[in-house]
């Protein structure tokens, strides 16, 4: 049986674009998750998500691993990009889309 920390590391390593959020992309359960998902969806690439409301163990453990206390958390290529404010700001100044497109392209290259 793997630990929560191992599960989180596996999720991060297997999904080049991953958001830990409250709710789902179709039905976000908080405004910050909704804004972050909108910015991510606007980049036009597929991404994975984990609903931390359905996974209380991940919700408790991830802030310790990431050293980031809040949700959502966007991870790209195994690196924590940040939460809502950072992701939305990156989207607005044009930094998010190339990052996401690059991660998606790498995933297709590896497939």
Binding residues for [2Fe-2S] cluster, by number, are 30
- Residues of each annotated binding site: 22, 30, 59, 71, 84-85
What are 80's strand-pairing partners?
A: 75
Question: 93: which residues sit within 8 A by CB, 6+ positions away?
Answer: none
Dihedral, CA of residue 74, residue 5, residue 50 and residue 10, to nearest 10: 80
Binding-site residue positions for glutathione: 22, 59, 71, 84-85
Helices (H) and strands (E) in the chain — how many of each? 5, 4
42: left (phi over 0), alpha (psi -120 to 50) or beta: alpha
């Amino acid at each position: 049986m793997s630990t929560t920390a191992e599960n989180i590391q596996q999720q991060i390593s297997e999904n080049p674009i991953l958001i830990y959020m409250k709710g789902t992309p179709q039905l976000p359960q908080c405004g910050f998750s909704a804004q972050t998902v909108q910015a991510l969806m606007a980049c036009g690439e597929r991404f994975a998500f984990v609903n931390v409301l359905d996974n209380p163990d991940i919700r408790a453990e991830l802030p310790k691993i990431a050293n980031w206390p809040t949700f959502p958390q966007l991870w790209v290529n195994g690196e924590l990009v940040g939460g809502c404010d950072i992701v939305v700001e990156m989207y607005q100044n044009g930094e998010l889309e190339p990052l996401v497109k690059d991660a998606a392209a790498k995933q297709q290259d590896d497939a």
